[in-house]
Amino acid sequence: MRDEPGALPGRRRLRPRTFERVRPSVPVRIQDSADVSPDAVIGEGSSVWHLAQVREGAVLGKNCIVGRGAYVGTGVVMGDSCKLQNYALVYEPAVLEDGVFVGPAVCFTNDHYPRSISPDGTLKRGDDWEAVGVTCRTGSSIGARSVCVAPVTIGRWAMVAAGSVVVTDVPDFALVAGVPARRLRWVGKAGIPLEQGEQDGLWVCPQTGQTYVEENETLREAN
């Protein structure tokens, strides 16, 4: 079967409340009260819950969950197996790679210097400013009510504690917290804080036993 124009390979462009007729191999679930643009692409096995909105040009991968009242902006791109919890606000041009968790009431901003009006008092329009986005790398997690002030990148498997305000890039595997957010510890893929290993610069996940190496204030998986 050929892919539809504008859809990613292996994904179909779906229209709200008509998705039953498409019959993907893994059904898509879109609640009647959700507002999903006909120009959005929803991957197989994904769910969009009550009162959520997915704007035109947004692309959701397979097995994603968009919780109650969440917002996905125009052209936002989400990989596979992402979770947006209730009332999360993901404004364009955000990019979420695979396996990203966005907690309840999280907000991704997209404007450096927000104003309602121009200096001459006229109402600003969409073309009066240039949007900047938040990028969340694979496996990263953003805790409840955190704010990510674009442009920032949340590194692979990093974790942002609840209520944080992120204004600078977060390294891979970092646990950050506070206002502004600062690194407190390292975490592994399981999300659990790592423990110091027997050698300097060596860290171990107490759950999985996976080892990590710290070099120049960055962390990587041991070979």
Q: What is the reported pLDDT for 223?
A: 78
Q: What is the reported pLDDT for 1?
A: 37
Is the pLDDT confidence value at 77 over 60? yes
- CA-to-CA distance for 204 and 220, rounded, in angstroms? 11
Q: What is the reported pLDDT for 212?
A: 97
For the stretch 118-135, pLDDT in tens is 999 999 987 888 899 999
Beta bridge partners of 213: 202, 220
Beta strands in 7-158 (DSSP E): 29-30, 35-36, 41-42, 47-48, 53-54, 59-60, 65-66, 71-72, 77-78, 83-84, 89-90, 95-96, 101-102, 107-108, 134-136, 141-142, 147-148, 152-154
- Percent of the chain clearing pLDDT 90 (strictly above): 80
Average pLDDT over residues 139-147: 99
Q: What is the reported pLDDT for 23?
A: 47
Q: What is the reported pLDDT for 44?
A: 97
Whole-number average pLDDT of the chain: 90
Q: Three-state DSSP class for 136? A: strand
CATH 3.40.1130.10 corresponds to the domain 29-187: no
Residue type for position 84: L
- CA-to-CA distance for 117 and 204, rounded, in angstroms? 52
- Percent of the chain clearing pLDDT 70 (strictly above): 89
Domain segments of the chain: what residues?
A: 29-187
Indicate the range of 40-44, 87-91, 110-114, 182-186 predicted with least confidence: 110-114
